[in-house]
Copies of this chain bind each other. A is one copy, B any other.
Amino acid sequence: MAADKSISSKQLSRLPIYLKLLYSLKDKGVEKTSAPQIAKALQQNEEQVRKDLQVVSSHIGKPKTGRVVVDLIDDIETFLGYHDATSTVIVGVGHLGGAFMNYSGFSEFGLNILAGFDVDENLVGGKINNKEIFHVDSLEEYIVNHQVHLAILVTPTDVAQNIANRLVKSGIKAIWNFVPIQLRVPEDVIVENVNLASSLAVLSHKLKLNLEKEEKL
């Protein structure tokens, strides 16, 4: 049961991490755990863990007895909406979009990928992982008919804003954006950006500097 709905993005982003740990505890047959134990296992601040869990769970546990692992799992899963799957479509079935359609792991996170959309006639009409690929012309109709509110955007950069506009007009309220541009959307539409190229750029550059430093030693 959710005790409170005021949760920060940082807190939210930590919940899947707790969940992963709790799954592994459950698999190992551990029945109870506590904020200090979780904090220690994840090398995080104990007070932070306690506060995070208090937001999502009323299973506070008595001091010294701890929380029941399966209850905690259920609370976090419910809070994150993993139990009621969110329908979604993927726009752009290129390299990464195709990989995502093939990736069954998203269903664990409560995502139900209904279909893919593309302009490539070699893809349209086909299926990946048993999900149909439609022409992007039918995007609006599909979203309205299937009452989809979330879309995964993996198009080429130059069409991304245009597609985002069409998504929003059709009723999309949240975009998981993998295209490296800053989308302009109305205030009530949420955009969460994942920029793999940026993440890799940071890593590669630091690696290069470190290797150069080592060579000099």
| A interface, CB within 8 angstroms of B | 5, 7, 9, 12-17, 20-21, 23-24, 27, 42-44, 79-81, 86, 94-96, 98-100, 102-106, 109-111, 149-150, 157-158, 173-174, 176, 180-182, 184, 188, 190, 192, 194-211
Contacts and interface: CB of A to CB of B under 8 A. Distances in A.
A186 B153 CA distance: 36
Question: How many copies are assembled?
Answer: 2
Contacts of A99: 99-100, 102-103
A215 B204 CA distance: 46
B204 A110 contact: yes
A195 B103 contact: no
A190 B210 CA distance: 9
Nearest to A27: B158
Given A86-B207, A205-B81, A207-B150, A200 B105 contact: no
B13 A43 contact: no
Main secondary structure of the interface of A (DSSP, over half): helix
Contact of A194 (B20, B96, B196): B196
Nearest to A176: B203
Given A16-B180, A100-B99, A199 B192 contact: yes
Given A86-B207, A181-B17, A103 B95 contact: yes
A176 B190 contact: no
A203 B206 CA distance: 29
Contacts of A81: 204-205, 208
Nearest to A203: B192
Nearest to A174: B207
* Residue from A81, A104, A106, A200 with most neighbouring chain B CB atoms (10 Å): A200
Nearest to A9: B202
B150 A203 contact: yes
13 contacts: A16-B201, A17-B182, A17-B195, A42-B182, A86-B204, A96-B103, A102-B102, A109-B196, A174-B203, A174-B204, A174-B207, A174-B210, A176-B199
Contacts of A105: 94-96
A102 B94 CA distance: 11
